[in-house]
Amino acid sequence: MTGRAVPSNLTGMDPQARALLNRMALDGTASVQGLCPEQARALFSTTRAKYQPPMAEVSSCRTIDLPRSPEGVRVRLYRGLGTDPSLALPALLFLHGGGWMLGDLDTYDAICARIANDAGCCVASLDYRLAPENPFPAALDDARLALQWLHDSARELHIDASRIAIGGDSAGATLATASAICSRDGALPPIISQVLIYPCTDLDMKSDAFAQDWTGAPLTSESMRNYIANYVPNPADRVDWRASPIRALSFAGCPPTLVVSAGIDPLRDDSFALSGRLEAEGSPVTHLHFSDQFHGFLPMWHVLDAADRAMDFIVRSLIDQFGTSGG
């Protein structure tokens, strides 16, 4: 690698991360910017399949239609390798990233399988409706329905209704924390913790991080503006706390939260704003920041040591909340 593929504006990057982005650039990996939704989704899926590790073997993995949901909304259930199929496992509802426009069950198989195996739990990954065909609040409605279903169907699914957590990355983390606030307010069943991986918490897009030049990074401010415009086309809706969770009136009483953030990311400041609100208002929060990593680094643990450490930390956090010994 010559180091010339990644622009010089992206300073302070971990050498492993820079090498990976160089490889992606030299491989001709294109941006989804300017593509129609179908083309963008196909490219996103192809890129994820090429650069992620393969899904690990799990005890069981099955995909079902989410009951009482719109057509096409599915849930994939992973049970950790070696777990008793009749045992009521703790569960994580996982909401994938992709700017509310991209991503599906397949593109997050590796992350979900690793969490299920290493935490000795069940992971329920939701294939929620995507924008622009289904704008806000469709994806959040699906997330809320899935959380309610997990709780109500716990006996049938062999999960422990008293040990359900919620989490997600990027757009999925936005949906997760909005759902957690609904749970805190009694509109959804209680959850024991949330895991938020580089969340987007304010669609206002006026943070210092948004103003930086992220050319060459996997996520740029320009691409975020495009995602937001398609997800919440009405600007008036962007101040709704369900779309911009940082605008919630209070974060008091929220469950223990793990925030994972990256420094090379236009959403960097969103993570710090959220963890700051949680701490200031008395809700337990742990913030794990990787200043030298890029948005989307987490599933690349086969080539990024930082991603492997982040996954270990996420799993340990869940084990502590679930009260299990892990896989």
pLDDT for res 80:
97
Would you state the pLDDT for residue 266? 97
> In which element (H, E) is residue 94 found?
strand 89-95
Max Cα separation, the chain? 56
Of 142, 160, 265, 270, the active-site residue reads 265
Q: Is 270 a catalytic residue?
A: no
240 is catalytic: no
- Residue 35 has what pLDDT? 82
pTM of the model: 0.96
- Active site residue: 96, 151, 158, 295, which one? 295
70-96 confidence digits (pLDDT tens) = 999 999 999 999 999 999 999 999 999
* Phi-psi label, residue 47: left if phi above 0, alpha if psi -120 to 50, beta otherwise: alpha
Which of helix, strand or coil describes residue 56?
A: coil
Within 8 A by CB and 6+ apart from 71, the residues are none
Q: Which two tokens stand for residue 54?
A: 């393969």
* Residue 53 CA neighbour count, 13 Å, CB half: 18
The pLDDT value given to residue 30: 66
Q: Report, as ranges of residue numbers, the positions in the chain whose pLDDT lies below 50.
A: 1-3
The secondary structure of 137-185 as a DSSP string is: THHHHHHHHHHHHHHHTHHHHTEEEEEEEEEEETHHHHHHHHHHHHHHT
**Does 320 participate in catalysis according to the annotation?**
no
In this prediction, residue 26 carries a pLDDT of 83
Select which of 59, 69, 125, 170 is catalytic.
170
Hey, what are 285's tokens? 């929060």
> Is the CATH number of domain 15-322 1.20.200.10?
no
Under 8 Å between Cβ of 227 and 101: yes
